[in-house]
């Protein structure tokens, strides 16, 4: 089992998880052309994907998911709330699949465990993935910590955690007050220190990889995000992988 990112940030998000013959794309926040270019860097193309999972309806996550699913006959998984929020589009029965909090689903060689998060979307779901031996926990686009969220991320071999902003940089940014309140609010995005709290609560001896993701290009810096997460697990900041908006990050193995 391994995972990588095609890009992570406000301009688009896509995380690729591979287990056996299964390639799951979590979020699809790019145009079809851009997604194909980014997959091409890995020697892959859209027909080589197994399925898509969309966490919520915001454009930097849903992107070209519908057109990609239709064009390449890819099964598409999302919550009913997300489906309604994007206009309840019609898809063939073999393409559209609904998921809900706490109800695991099998997708090829992976089992997905969706869980709800506090975010300003209709029915946002983040998830963990397992091949039966290793588990990856994914958490982006959440404004605050809940016990339910922490429970969903226990015993993961790798964690991909949103580190959207540094509180001081956000407070002193050029964002209007309303946007600052939205980003930093309970249903907004995780600050570095809040992501570090999540990591500290999920830390265990078997945790192999920690990734800082969904960084704001205006209100955060890679060194700040890495330092915050490193402090939570007592490691060096160089041990934290930081996803970029343009390049994501390379494959990380869990085998």
The model's pLDDT over 191-250, given as tens digits with 9 standing for 90+, comes to: 999 999 999 999 999 999 999 999 999 999 999 999 999 999 999 999 999 999 999 999
Q: Is residue 255 part of a domain?
A: no
Mean pLDDT of the chain: 97
Q: What is the pLDDT of residues 33-49, one digit of tens each?
A: 999 999 999 999 999 99
> What is the CB neighbour count within 10 angstroms for residue 187?
15
Task: Please give the tally of structural domains in the chain.
Answer: 1
Specify if 181 maps to a domain: yes
pLDDT at 14: 98
Residue with tokens 């002193």: 172
Q: Decide if 211 is inside a domain.
A: yes
Mention every residue, 6+ apart, whose C-beta is less than 8 A from residue 24: 16, 17, 18, 49, 50, 51, 52, 53, 107, 108, 110, 112, 129
Write out pLDDT tens, residues 8-30: 999 999 999 999 999 999 999 99
Structure tokens at 60: 């930097």
**Residue-range definition of the domain harbouring residue 76:** 2-250
Question: What are the tens digits of pLDDT across the range 62-113?
Answer: 999 999 999 999 999 999 999 999 999 999 999 999 999 999 999 999 999 9
Residue 168 domain flag = yes
Residue 62 covered by a domain: yes
Give residue 255's pLDDT.
76
The CATH number for 118's domain is 3.60.15.10
């Amino acid at each position: 089992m391994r995972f990588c990112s095609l890009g992570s940030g406000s301009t688009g998000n896509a995380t690729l998880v591979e287990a056996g013959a299964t390639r799951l794309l979590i979020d699809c926040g790019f145009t079809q052309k851009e997604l194909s270019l980014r997959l091409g860097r890995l020697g892959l193309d859209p027909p080589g994907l197994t399925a898509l999972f969309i966490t919520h309806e915001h454009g930097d996550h849903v992107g070209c998911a519908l057109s990609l699913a239709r064009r390449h006959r890819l099964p598409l998984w999302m919550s009913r709330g997300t489906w309604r929020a994007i206009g309840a589009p019609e898809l063939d029965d073999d393409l559209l699949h609904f998921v809900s909090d706490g109800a695991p689903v099998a997708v090829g060689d992976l089992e997905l465990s969706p869980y709800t998060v506090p975010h300003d979307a209709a029915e946002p779901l983040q998830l963990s993935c397992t091949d039966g031996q290793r588990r990856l926990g994914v958490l982006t686009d959440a404004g605050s910590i809940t016990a339910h969220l922490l429970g969903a991320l226990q015993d993961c071999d790798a964690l991909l955690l949103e580190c959207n902003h540094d509180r001081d940089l956000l407070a002193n940014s050029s964002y209007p007050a309303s946007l600052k309140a939205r980003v930093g609010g309970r249903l907004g995005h995780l600050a570095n220190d809040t992501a570090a709290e999540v990591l500290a609560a999920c830390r265990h001896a078997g945790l192999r990889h920690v990734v800082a993701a969904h960084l704001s290009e205006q209100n955060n810096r890679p060194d700040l995000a890495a330092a915050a997460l490193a402090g939570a697990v007592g490691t060096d900041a160089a041990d934290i992988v930081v996803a970029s908006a343009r390049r994501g990050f390379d494959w990380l193995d869990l085998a």
